[in-house]
Amino acid sequence: MRYQPDFTHVKTFSEPYPHSWIAQLFPTGANREIQSWLDGCGCWEHTVTDFYEQYEFSLQSTKLPPSLEFVICGEVIAALTDWMMSTFTAPELVVSDVVLHCLHPGHKIGIHNDHTEDGESYRLLIQLSDDLVGGDLLMFEGMDARSLKRIIKPKFGTALAFAISEKSYHAVSKVEKGLRYTLIYSFCRK
């Protein structure tokens, strides 16, 4: 395997809901390769809803360059899945999708909760942007903006894992400058 996830530098938190921050999940070179490909990628689909606007696409339906196939290779998926199950003391998990999101200047994501009874139960986000102003991940105790508990800056190469539950309210502040690229692994219970 060309690149392996690195779980050496992890901080785990319980509030406002279980989540872990990882200093550098993939090596900087791997992140730069992904970022460079994204800058010229024509795969983006524009999505607008009542609480967000972004560009996105799934890697499961995209032909990746050979240098980036590690992102969805079996060994990496297995390592990420094992780590998620161990970190969150979760039962058997499977990766249900691997997607990329891109927020442009002016884009933001309102407070929401992705919880559904039979859907995604955990998420792992990897930030692939530098020179970004805004686009902070905001964590809340509820739908009220006054319940803000944590602000996480989208530093290049960092990752954030969290449990999706009826308490996992989050948002993304408005991107002021730059493109906010995020690689997202979605996990469901087997």
- For the chain, the DSSP string reads -------SSEEEE-SSS-EEEES-SS-HHHHHHHHHHHHH----EEEE-SSBEEEEEEGGGS---GGGGGGG-HHHHHHHHHHHHHHTT-SSEEEEEEEEEEE-TT--EEEE----TTS--EEEEEE--SS-EE--EEEESSSSGGGEEEEE---TT-EEEEE-STT-EEEEPPEEES-EEEEEEEEEE-
Please, what is the average pLDDT of the chain?
A: 94
Output the pLDDT for position 139. 98
pTM > 0.85: yes or no: yes
CA distance 95 to 45: 22
Which whole number is the average pLDDT over 80-84?
Answer: 97
* 140 strand-pairing partners: 148, 169
Using the predicted structure, report yes or no on whether residue 151 has a pLDDT greater than 80.
yes
Question: pLDDT tens for residues 94-132?
Answer: 999 999 999 999 999 999 998 887 778 999 999 999 889
Q: How many CB atoms lie within 10 A of CB 141?
A: 15
